[in-house]
Amino acid sequence: MSQDNQTIELQAMLDEAFAKATDFYQQRGFQRSIGFGKKPALISVDLANAWTRPGNPFTCEHMDDQIIPGMQRLLAAFRSRGFPVVHVTTAYQVTDVENPHTDMGLWHKKIPVDAVDLKNEDIWAIDSRIAPIEGEQVLLKKCASSFQGTYLANFLRSSGVDTILVTGVTASACVRTTVCDGIAEGFRPIIVKECVGDRIPGAVAWNLFDMDAKFGDVESLDTCIEYLMTVDNK
């Protein structure tokens, strides 16, 4: 069986499981809607070269055909309305795995974060196709969540933000933990369906379903753009 056919078969199995799980969740009061708020910000997680370009340990699927084009549309909408944009990336000052004082913590014992060396800007720089413009934040994180150990929550609160549109990679790790921490910090997480990726078949679909059930609302790119173009920017 080809990989494409395997992916189709996996998606069909997931769709069946999600249909059953939806009934189960809704009977127990899950899958409520948190809704859009009054002032949004875009949190673009790890759409940097190490994740968006081929040939890296962290390279993710569907960048060229889905995620980058979707991000270009979303960024255009945010910029046209003047709402805050935060580009998040990950890099480390000390990538020697034998150094006990590395800023990688223990994460390098599980995944090759030592590949993302702060000295090599090309690897952790935001993808040039969705490059930050003047006035947009570029936030460097060390952990999976964009909130952990960063100024993100304070920046959002001081900007009057109540809603975060979360995009990027990966659905199973950095996007998910950002969404979980976002609602814990009191923001309304909206996950933009077409702008989230991962490496393993099924990972995006499963995590989108689960996040939508518990931590935020998964909305289409078109729905998010419609919201951005109609919400007041005061």
C-alpha atoms less than 13 angstroms from C-alpha of 109 in its C-beta half-sphere? 6
The active-site residue, picked from 60, 174, 195, 224, is 174
How high is the pLDDT of residue 5?
78
Could you tell me how far CA 98 lies from the centroid of its own chain?
30
pTM of the model: 0.94
| Alpha-carbon span 97 to 102, nearest angstrom | 7
How far CA 43 is from CA of 35, 71, 184, 191, in Å, comes to 17, 11, 16, 10
What is the phi/psi pair of residue 204, to 5°?
-65, -50
CATH topology of domain 34-230: Rossmann fold (3.40.50)
224 catalytically annotated: no
In the chain, where the domains are located: 34-230
* Segments of the chain with pLDDT less than 50: none
